[in-house]
């Protein structure tokens, strides 16, 4: 497997070298909005530890990411009055991975509304700003 590349875009976001719509952070994970959301509120949860994907992350760091996704899923249900949640993680090109810092997708779903295909549209910053505020408010409610 190819080695982890510290110049990947999510590593730059973690280091504060590239902007993002941050939702949540703790000692182990960081969560921010996907810029091409497949549903409103589509969030990415990433480990702070460098890991390309599920094939090189430690079980412990993967558990931290899962815990983060669990937290975001509950907040997203509230924030978007969602009917359900999709959680996805792709490892290696064969699986559809395009950014090589492990990330878990958390996507709120509504009955009868299909997910957009990946990379359909770069969402407007103002729209993402609004989604981030809703998610952060729901997280703050606990």
Site residues (vs ligand AMP, CB under 6 A): 9, 20, 34-36, 44, 90, 96-99, 103, 118-119
In three-state secondary structure terms, 76 is: helix
Cα(99)–Cα(52) distance, integer angstroms: 8
Q: What gap in Å lies between CA 121 and CA 30, rounded to an integer?
A: 23
Smallest separation (angstroms) from ligand AMP to the CB of 141: 25
Residues annotated as catalytic (active site), given as ranges: 103
Closer Cβ to ligand AMP, 21 or 141, answer by number: 21
Smallest gap from Cβ 31 to ligand AMP, in A, equals: 11
Report helix angle 125-141 to 59-79, nearest 10. Answer: 100
- Using the minimum distance from each CB to ligand AMP, give the nearer residue, 10 or 80: 10
d(CA 37, CA 15): 22
- Least spacing, CB of residue 38 vs ligand AMP, in Å: 7
3-state SS, 98-116, equals CCCCCCEEEEEECCCCCCC
Q: Which residue number, 34 or 61, has a Cβ lying nearer to ligand AMP?
A: 34
């Amino acid at each position: 497997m190819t080695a982890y590349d510290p110049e990947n875009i999510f590593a730059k976001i973690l280091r504060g070298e590239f902007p993002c719509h941050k939702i949540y952070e703790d000692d182990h994970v960081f969560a921010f909005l996907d810029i091409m959301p497949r549903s409103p509120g589509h969030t990415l949860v990433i480990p702070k530890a460098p890991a390309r994907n599920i094939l090189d992350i430690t079980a412990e760091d993967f558990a931290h990411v899962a815990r983060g996704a669990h937290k975001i899923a509950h907040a997203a249900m509230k924030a978007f009055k969602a009917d359900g949640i999709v959680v996805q993680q792709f490892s290696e090109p064969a699986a559809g991975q395009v950014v090589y810092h492990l990330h878990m997708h958390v996507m709120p779903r509504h009955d009868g509304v299909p997910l957009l295909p990946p990379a359909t549209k770069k969402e407007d910053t103002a729209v993402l700003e609004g989604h981030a505020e809703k998610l952060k408010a729901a997280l703050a409610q606990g």
